Amino acid sequence: MALAEILMLGRAPAIVGEQLSRQFTVHRAGPGEVEALSPDLLSRVRGIASGAHVPVNRALIERMPGLEIVANFGVGYDSVDAAFCGERGICVTNTPDVLTEEVADTAFGLLLMTVRQLSAAERYLRAGRWEAEGPYPLTPATLRGRTLGILGLGRIGLAIARRAEAFGLEVRYHGRTQRTDVDYPYHDTLEGLARACDTLMVVAPGGEATRGIVDRRVLEALGPEGIVVNVGRGTVIDEPALVAALQDGTILSAGLDVFEKEPKVPQALKDMEHVVLLPHVGSASRHTRDRMGQLVVDNLASWFRDGRPLTPVAETPFVAKG
Ligand code: NAP
Ligand code: 8YV
């Protein structure tokens, strides 16, 4: 007998559908298909497994009177209205820890690619220009002597900081609160952090509290040698201000894994050869995505078997199963 009816929204690894189908009655909907779901089906569904690009917003939640849990595929859950879920007693879970080291690897790779123009250098070779024109030009930037400012020294931020230390970088950070378990210098404003460093690593969550906080003033404070890397959320950076700062030399370069309106990326960014652009691949290995998927399944199973989630988010502070 199925534990409950579950709605799977958007994309997730195959193991999620396979494993959920063994324990639950599963319905699926992709982007643009949610509006067409019948009131009868929505009233029966007690859990959502939410993948990328399908928001679990107030409008959807209000159509689901029996909803008990939203298990988000991803540690960032800005596409789920978690505050509203909290008000309604609906549990929200995410996928922390299992992706931390993978995303930190991607972030550091992106930093190196950006500082040393590695994608442009590879394009140069593939186009036959090494043979025809000689060596690729020396890069204006080096990692040597850089100071890395981390916006959001959480799980992933800390894993990036450890890598940065191994590469000989000075690390500083900004967040809403100063950590008591690290010695890295803390800045109580983002502009203060930007002034004290030349390389800004954005790894803070999306949502209204962080919308556009990396703005023109922060980019100016970073300065003409400045490099911005974003693996957090595209919405954290004022994207038009970033484009302008790259075009007029306010900062030197950027490496971006996330964008304001994914999968759309401004043409102005694509036109800049020295900027490195990745299609949101921070956690995108089979190994890590399968572990994230497993945690989605385990959260739903734990909820419907024992009434306890494994990894609830702060807005819905259910007691996690030990
Ligand atoms: P985490 O442990 O919760 O860390 C988030 C950090 O951001 C914390 O240090 C938090 O510190 C800080 N923060 C939160 N709100 C802030 C605000 N309003 N202003 C400044 N700092 C703020 O989360 P995580 O596991 O490291 O993941 C971080 C984010 O990375 C996710 O939310 C997601 O958006 C992104 N991510 C991206 C990918 C990718 O594929 N590119 C993959 C995984 C995750 P305080 O609470 O002290 O402010
Ligand atoms: C995923 C992420 O790409 O965990 C996150 O917050 O951004 C990534 O790991 C995304 O959640 C699902 O595609």
Write out pLDDT tens, residues 295-308: 999 999 999 999 99
Q: Residue 250: is its pLDDT beyond 70?
A: yes
Q: Residue 317's pLDDT band (boundaries 50, 70, 90)?
A: confident
Residues 115, 226, single domain; the answer is: yes
Residue 20 and residue 152 in one domain = no
218/244 same-domain check: yes
pLDDT, position 200? 99
Across the range 274-288, mean pLDDT stands at 98
pLDDT confidence of residue 138: 98
For 155-175, how does the pLDDT look when each residue is reduced to its tens digit (9 = 90+)? Answer: 999 999 999 999 999 999 999
Residue type, 128: G
DSSP, res 27: E
Residues 292 and 244 reside in one and the same domain:
no
Q: Is residue 47 part of a domain?
A: yes
For residue 153 and ligand 2, the question of a CB distance below 6 A is answered with no
Q: Does 204 share its domain with 126? A: yes
- 131 and 19 in one domain? no
Domains in the chain, number: 2
Catalytic residue among 262, 273, 287, 305: 262
- What is the enclosing helix (H) or strand (E) of 49? strand 45-50
**Index of the ligand 2 atom closest to the CA of residue 51:** 12
Q: How many residues does the chain have?
A: 322
Residues 84 and 177 in one domain: no
The residue-averaged pLDDT of 67-71 equals: 98
Q: Which of these is catalytic: 27, 53, 129, 280?
A: 280
258 residue type, one letter = V
Q: What integer pLDDT is reported at residue 318 of this predicted model?
A: 79
99 band by pLDDT with thresholds 50, 70 and 90: very high
Please say if 233 is a catalytic residue. yes
**In-domain check, residue 68:** yes
Per-residue pLDDT, averaged over 74-100, amounts to: 97
Domain that holds residue 110: 100-277
Question: What is the overall mean pLDDT for the chain?
Answer: 97
User: Residue 103 pLDDT > 70, yes or no?
Assistant: yes
Distance CA 273, CA 158 (A): 30
Three-class DSSP labels, 109-160 = HHHHHHHCCHHHHHHHHHCCHHHHHCCCCCCCCCCCCCEEEEECCCHHHHHH
| The two structure tokens encoding residue 44 | 């029966």
Within-domain flag for 24:
yes
Compute the average pLDDT of residues 203-220.
98
DSSP annotation string for 226-283: -EEEE-S-GGGB-HHHHHHHHHTTSSSEEEES--TBTTB--HHHHT-TTSEE--S-TT
pLDDT of residue 322: 67
Q: How many helices (H) and strands (E) does the chain have?
A: 13, 11
CB 156 within 8 A of CB 137: no
Q: What is the mean pLDDT of residues 263-271?
A: 98
**114 and 22 inside one domain:** no
* Domain match, 106 and 58 both: no
Q: Are residues 131 and 254 in the same domain?
A: yes
Q: Which of the four pLDDT bands, split at 50, 70 and 90, describes residue 78?
A: very high
Rounded to the nearest whole angstrom, what is the distance from the C-alpha of residue 34 to the centroid of ligand 1?
28
Separation CA 51–CA 85 (nearest Å):
17
Q: Is residue 320 part of a domain?
A: no
CA of 175, nearest ligand number = 1
Residue 115, pLDDT > 80, answer: yes
Name the residue with tokens 């929200």: 92
Burial of 152 (0-12, 13-18, 19+ CB in 10 A): buried
Same-domain check for residues 40 and 127 = no
Query: What's the burial of 274, exposed, middle or buried (CB within 10 Å: 0-12/13-18/19+)?
Result: middle
pLDDT band at 94 (very low <50, low <70, confident <90, very high): very high
- Within 8 A by CB and 6+ apart from 98, the residues are 288, 291, 292, 294, 295
Alpha carbon distance 56, 50 (integer Å):
8
Mutate to test the pocket of ligand 2, among 56, 70, 75 (most ligand atoms within 8 A of CB): 75
The protein residue with its alpha carbon nearest to ligand 1, atom 37, reads 232
Q: Is the CB of 281 under 6 A from ligand 2?
A: no
Look at residue 137 in the predicted model and tell me its pLDDT: 98
In a domain, 51, yes or no: yes
Please tell me the distance between residue 301's alpha carbon and the centre of ligand 1 in angstroms: 26
Tell me, yes or no, whether 113 and 222 share the same domain.
yes
CATH of residue 30's domain is: 3.40.50.720
- Of 90, 68, 153, 154, nearest in space to 315 by CA: 90
**29 within ligand 2 shell (Cβ under 6 A):** no
Going by alpha carbons, the residue nearest to atom 5 of ligand 2 is 74
